[in-house]
A and B are shown apart, each in its own frame.
Chain A
Amino acid sequence: MRIELNGQHKELDGPATVAQLLLSLGLERAPCAVEVNAQLVRKALHPTHALAEGDRVEVVTLVGGG
């Protein structure tokens, strides 16, 4: 299954939830937030939100800024 992750194409082995995607990225404990198709997916919903073909996923964190 192909998704777009942070602006890059990414091939997933099979069906995956947001939580499984974060686990595969090593970010399961990182302070981050996830959007799928420009909609926030709250942390509590990560284990149940299934990704679909062509989803645009953004994984963001906090950085220095003014």
Chain B
Amino acid sequence: MLEAANAEILMTTDQPRINVRTAPVSPALPPLRIGSFTLTSRLVVGTGKYRDYATMQAAIEASGADCVTVAVRRERLVDAEGRSILDFLPLERLTILPNTAGCFTADDAVRVSRLGREILEQLGNPGAGWVKLEVLGDRTTLLPDPVGTLEACKELVKDGFTVLCYSSDDPIIAARLRDAGAASVMPAGSPIGSGRGIANPAAIRMVIDRLKLAEQGGSADYPVIVDAGVGTASDIVHAMELGADGVLLNTGIAHAQDPIRMAHAMRLALDAGWHTARAGRIPRKLYANASSPWEGVITHIPGE
């Protein structure tokens, strides 16, 4: 099994063949494919809530992400000297993923998606072709409205968008969104900005199994991205260990005391989780299992 897992890493990597058991550095992860989009990094980071644009820019760099999310909002007509976030994003290198944050109805999400596409087309950014769909239930939980999300997903797919659906950690709605044409389903680990990590690991696992296992009607290459709730690097490891293809987060980096260092940690965590998921962890046992041999001990062993 270990051989098979290693072989998979070697085969799916575009890098020269390296022996993962003796390699001084980790082998590169295969790219993340979402519809017709290909991302080098499996970490997608948000651009909100940073104390300043310079910190945001450095944190994105440290995260290794080549895709960042943005929101669509009213132009601040009274503050003409306000600097645009676009001046701080290397658009030639990044694919921008516009979101529909703040939308509570399917109609509004469709409107906002079209507005985001219009701006990204003007910028010549490939992100014009896709959207991170959020249709939320209320301001307190920011949890997805599954009915509104499904409705908006259908409309946006019809309109030619590659739709990445923010969803509850529920395998049934996840499959409905996939069937409606979502290019990726993105279950929430826990509520947006809560930093509670993976609140229900069993549910996330069921979403991943439903969408990726052939015996449940899924496909191994269907991308599942855990989105929201990441508070610290171990949350990313956890998500990846559960079988996620990638992780999307914002607050966990932006509101860390040192966002740049935290972005670096998140990047490492994603790699760690990816390899862990394929390395085959040991089963949990209640009692100990000595690492050093009993044979040849010169000591008194209690009870023997």
List A residues at the B interface (Cβ < 8 Å): 5-7, 25-27, 30-33, 35, 38, 40, 42-43, 58-66
In-complex Cβ contact of B192 among A43, A63, A66 (8 A): A66
Give chain A residues whose Cβ lies under 8 Å from the Cβ of B73: 60-63
* Chain B, range 73-88, C-beta contacts under 8 Å to A: 73-75, 77, 80, 84-86
Residue of A nearest to B252 (CB): A66
State the CA gap A60–B123 with chains docked (Å).
14
Give chain A residues whose Cβ lies under 8 Å from the Cβ of B70: 62-65
State the CA gap A15–B72 with chains docked (Å).
28
State the CA gap A3–B250 with chains docked (Å).
37
Interface contact A6-B48, CB-CB below 8 Å: no
Give chain B residues whose Cβ lies under 8 Å from the Cβ of A5: 77
Report B87 CB to chain A, min CB distance, Å.
10
Assuming A6-B74, A27-B75, is B119 touching A62 (CB within 8 A)? yes
Interface contact A31-B111, CB-CB below 8 Å: no
Assuming A26-B80, A31-B122, is B75 touching A65 (CB within 8 A)? no
State the CA gap A8–B231 with chains docked (Å).
38
Identify the stretch in B17-25, B94-102, B216-224 within 8 Å (CB) of chain A at 4 or more residues. B94-102
- Count B interface residues, CB 8 Å: 39
Interface contact A64-B50, CB-CB below 8 Å: yes
Interface contact A64-B49, CB-CB below 8 Å: yes
Interface contact B77-A31, CB-CB below 8 Å: no
Give chain A residues whose Cβ lies under 8 Å from the Cβ of B248: 66
Q: Is B8 an interface residue (CB 8 A)?
A: no
Report A24 CB to chain B, min CB distance, Å.
10
> Interface readout for B53-78 with A: 1 if CB under 8 Å, 0 if not?
00010000000000001111111010
List B residues at the A interface (Cβ < 8 Å): 46-50, 56, 69-75, 77, 80, 84-86, 96, 98-99, 101, 111, 114-116, 118-123, 192-193, 228, 248-251
- 17 further interface pairs, Cβ-Cβ under 8 Å (given A7-B74, A31-B122, A62-B70): A6-B77, A31-B86, A33-B114, A40-B118, A59-B75, A60-B73, A61-B119, A62-B86, A62-B116, A64-B48, A65-B48, A65-B101, A66-B49, A66-B69, A66-B99, A66-B192, A66-B250
State the CA gap A21–B75 with chains docked (Å).
13
14 contacts between A and B (CB under 8 A): A31-B86, A43-B121, A59-B74, A60-B72, A61-B74, A61-B75, A62-B73, A62-B86, A62-B96, A65-B99, A65-B250, A66-B101, A66-B249, A66-B251
Residue of A nearest to B249 (CB): A66
Report A28 CB to chain B, min CB distance, Å.
12
Interface contact B74-A25, CB-CB below 8 Å: no
State the CA gap A6–B72 with chains docked (Å).
13
Residue of A nearest to B99 (CB): A65
Interface contact B46-A60, CB-CB below 8 Å: no
State the CA gap A34–B77 with chains docked (Å).
13
State the CA gap A35–B246 with chains docked (Å).
34
State the CA gap A32–B117 with chains docked (Å).
10
